Amino acid sequence: MAARQRLKAVLIDLSGTLHIEDSAVPGAQEALSRLRRAPVAVRFVTNTTKECKRTLLERLCRLDFDIQEREIFTSLSAARGLVERRALRPLLLLEHSALEDFSGIETSDPNAVVIGLAPEHFNYETLNKAFRLVLEGAPLIAIHKARYYKKKDGLALGPGPFVTGLEYATDTQATVVGKPEKTFFLEALRDLDCQPEEAIMIGDDARDDVGGAQNSGMLGILVKTGKYRAGDEAKISPQPHLTCENFPQAVDHILQHLV
């Protein structure tokens, strides 16, 4: 293996990696504490579109994780940035709880569509509304294109299938701001004075977490919790730097080999 620069930052996925819905992955809190004692910066990166930063933070604190709001970077923040830069008035297909991160953005007479994970909006009527806007020229901005995610009672469709469907309907391409887009990972590292080659990503989604991170120059560790399914590691190229059981094991590896 080629010599790599010293590790300066660890990006950690939330849902499926540190916790699954309202339960922490066993041993994760303690593993995070051990990681923090090492000379690395830590960032929590997530494509979760249902929840604003404050809600995410509250859950993580309830689960006894030692995390600060400024360490959280979400694809919602990335989307808001894009909407503001282009002065757009979006139709927001987002869960109610995510709207807080868009407060102050004009949404009447929409000329753009922002689409996240919003099952209540993925009905025929609302999707037709979004479709007609995009067909008339409104940009389609996707928080991310996750295919599915894990709930306690099984897998559930993410926003990706609906974004893909709208792209096909309108013969356009969405601008995707979340994982696995390169810009997402680079934005997450922006204020850490850290090159991608000096960073590593830990996540449960082979394509979106590990594949995306490795594509931007980082290393990736795939954990077998959350939405992981047997054989996922073979679905990306190059394969993950490491595939291991869970977040605590990933931290063990980092502390033993990379720091």
Tell me: cis bond preceding 119? Omega within 30 of 0 counts: no
Q: Which is nearer to another protein, 77 or 172 (CB)?
A: 172
Nearest approach in angstroms of CB 79 to another protein is 20
Q: Residue 157 interacts with another protein (CB under 8 A)?
A: yes
Q: Among residues 139 and 248, whose Cβ is nearest to another protein?
A: 139
Measured between alpha carbons, how far is 94 from 107 in angstroms, rounded to an integer? 12
CA dihedral 38, 178, 181, 71 (to 10 degrees): -20
Give the whole-angstrom CA distance, residue 32 versus residue 251.
8
Among positions 162-221, residues that touch another protein (CB under 8 A) are 162, 164-171
User: Which positions from 102 to 121 touch another protein by CB under 8 A, shown as an x/- string?
Assistant: -----------------xx-
Binding mask 54-93 for another protein (x = CB under 8 A): ----------------------------------------
Within 10 Å of residue 97's Cβ, how many Cβ atoms?
A: 14
Question: Which one of 39-47, 76-84, 160-168, 217-225 is the stretch in contact with another protein (CB under 8 A)?
Answer: 160-168
Cβ proximity to another protein: between 227 and 241 the closer is: 227
Phi-psi region of 101 (alpha: psi -120 to 50; beta: other; left: phi over 0): alpha
Give long-range contacts, CB 8 A cutoff, 24+ apart: 238-245: 238/214, 240/206, 240/210, 240/214, 241/200, 241/214
Q: Which of 104, 231 has the CB closer to another protein?
A: 231
CB atoms within 10 A of CB 15: 22
- Residues between 120 and 149 with contacts to another protein, criterion CB under 8 A: 120, 122-125, 127-128, 131-132, 135, 145, 147-148
In sequence order, what are the residues at sequence separation of 6 or more whose Cβ sits closer than 8 angstroms to the Cβ of residue 199? 7, 8, 9, 10, 11, 189, 192, 213, 218, 219
Q: How far is the CB of 125 from another protein (least distance, A)?
A: 8
Q: Would you say 143 or 244 has its CB closer to another protein?
A: 143
Nearest approach in angstroms of CB 202 to another protein is 24
- Whose tokens are 């916790």? That residue is 19
Least Cβ distance, residue 239 to another protein (angstroms)? 17
Q: How far is the CB of 170 from another protein (least distance, A)?
A: 8
The residue ranges that bind another protein (CB under 8 A) are 119-120, 122-125, 127-128, 131-132, 135, 145, 147-148, 154-158, 160-162, 164-171
